[in-house]
Amino acid sequence: MVLLGQAVSVSGLLLFGTTTSLLAKIVYELKSNGVDGQEKYFRKPWAMTALMFLGMSFCLPLAYYQERMAKRRSAAEDPLLSFDDTHAVSPRRSHLKEIALLSIPTAFDLVATVLMNIGLLYVTASVYQMMRGAEMLFAAFFAITFLGRRLNRYHALGIIFCVVGIALVGTSSIMSGEGSSTHVVTTEEMLLGMGLIITSQAVQAAQLTFEDFFMADLNIPGIKIVGYEGLLGAVGTVALMMPIAYYLPGPEGEGIHEDFVDTLTLIGNSRALQVVLAVDMAALLLYNVSGMAVTGHLGAVFRTVLETMRTLFVWLVDLLLFYTPLGLGQLGESWSVYSWLQAAGFVVLVSGTLVYRHGDHEANRRMLAEALALRNAEAPLESESAGAGMQYGAAASLLPSYGAMSSPLSMAGYGGMSQPMDALVGTPSRMSFRASQTIVSGSYSRSFHAPSSYLSRSPWSRNGALGNGLRLSTNGIDD
């Protein structure tokens, strides 16, 4: 991970996260001359999706640079141990196969991002940001349905808060009638936009469930995963999806049909568009780097709080743009009497998120307590069997230390239980990934739920509360 200080990483997360959300809406309010010579708004959600993935792909050269520098430092410190121990005893999996596996969550992310970008055409940036809180609802549903997880009372209360908060925010948006600062958005279009954003969160929750179940043991650094996902997503969007959108029927600028020749013409004819898109790509890269640094320094819980602050900053800056010359008279959103209702919805959403995270903490604390209790209960049996095995110790010491005896020794600290124990002590040794959006956290390996592990024999596990691939962060909070 990039070596950033805590203050720098926190400031970067807030600054660049706010910037990406604001620019995603601002770009739709800018005009330029298209291929037909007429001036029009840059309403190009497919192009913005490609831009997002392109910004993520810039993490890839940074990841390889970090990997190269780490190998140099390792060789300089101890040339005899300058091998990549993370691959020494872990299951052998082709690097190309791992990258190919990333294409599946990339497809989820592509669909979710397109839906969000189309929905953003019809709602303000603050409503867009708050509606994304719906992901928690679908993540809980998929965890129960596919991972066999059980929710506690804090989870249930957090979900209720989330539903109420989304309802309040959506109602305030419809009653205010403001979906754009430059043109009129009808009530039907607002409902469509909010529906698409909520649907996108269901897709992203499905992506999380897939990652939890199938990719818990993926042995690639988090920043490299983000870079590869960006590369695959950019290629897929530009080479496949945008040509399909070009031939789809429908009016231009509504999210279905999109003329990529017109898109290039609009960008080429507007210096403002060029600057905004370039800044947006740079902000996406720096947001991902800062987000991983925050999670590594301070944990996933603290990043959750920062993400809610990011939503608040998006709203405040949008208001600032509307009421000051900074918005050039065409950017931002206004404050109305219904904004109080949106503010109440925001407070309820934040409360729901924190309550749900507390439920995660309680569930993880109970799981670890039961695992330790089970281990302590089995300790006397292990000590009794140890005495019987000592009679073979002298003979065993005369044998060469290879084969069955050497494997446990050589694997100590690398494979097997090393990743779960890293998580227990709070070491962010391996970062799971979430494309470009929310929390990146540490992850328990699915080897922790192997038949021989203590957690797999826990009574709580047999009751279905420990599904394969349950992801827990380094601070006991799952994504």
pLDDT value at residue 122: 93
* Average of per-residue pLDDT across 176-197: 90
What are the distances in angstroms from CA 385 to CA 388, 389, 390, 412? 5, 6, 9, 22
Q: What is the distance between the alpha carbons of residues 201 and 193, in angstroms, rounded to a whole number?
A: 13
What is the pLDDT of the chain when averaged over all its residues?
76
What are the distances in angstroms from CA 356 to CA 107, 151, 248, 399, 454? 28, 10, 41, 55, 26
pLDDT value at residue 475: 33
pLDDT value at residue 424: 32
Residue-level length of the chain: 479
Q: Is the pLDDT score of 23 beyond 50?
A: yes
pLDDT value at residue 357: 85
Beta bridge partners of 39: 33
- SS3 state of residue 39: strand
Q: What is the distance between the alpha carbons of residues 477 and 196, in angstroms, rounded to a whole number?
A: 28
| 281 touches 58 (CB < 8 A) | yes
Model confidence pLDDT, tens digit, residues 352-366: 988 988 888 888 888
Q: What is the distance between the alpha carbons of residues 196 and 189, in angstroms, rounded to a whole number?
A: 10
| 67 touches 238 (CB < 8 A) | no
Looking at per-residue pLDDT, the higher value among 424 and 139 belongs to 139
381 CB-near residues (< 8 Å, 6+ apart): none
Q: Which of 28-42, 44-58, 319-333, 371-385 has the lowest mean pLDDT?
A: 371-385
- SS3 state of residue 400: coil
Percent of the chain with pLDDT strictly greater than 90: 40
pLDDT value at residue 116: 95
- SS3 state of residue 31: strand
Model confidence pLDDT, tens digit, residues 405-441: 333 323 233 233 323 333 333 333 333 333 333 323 3
What are the distances in angstroms from CA 183 to CA 293, 300, 333, 391, 407? 39, 39, 12, 86, 68
Looking at per-residue pLDDT, the higher value among 151 and 471 belongs to 151
Q: What is the distance between the alpha carbons of residues 140 and 149, in angstroms, rounded to a whole number?
A: 9
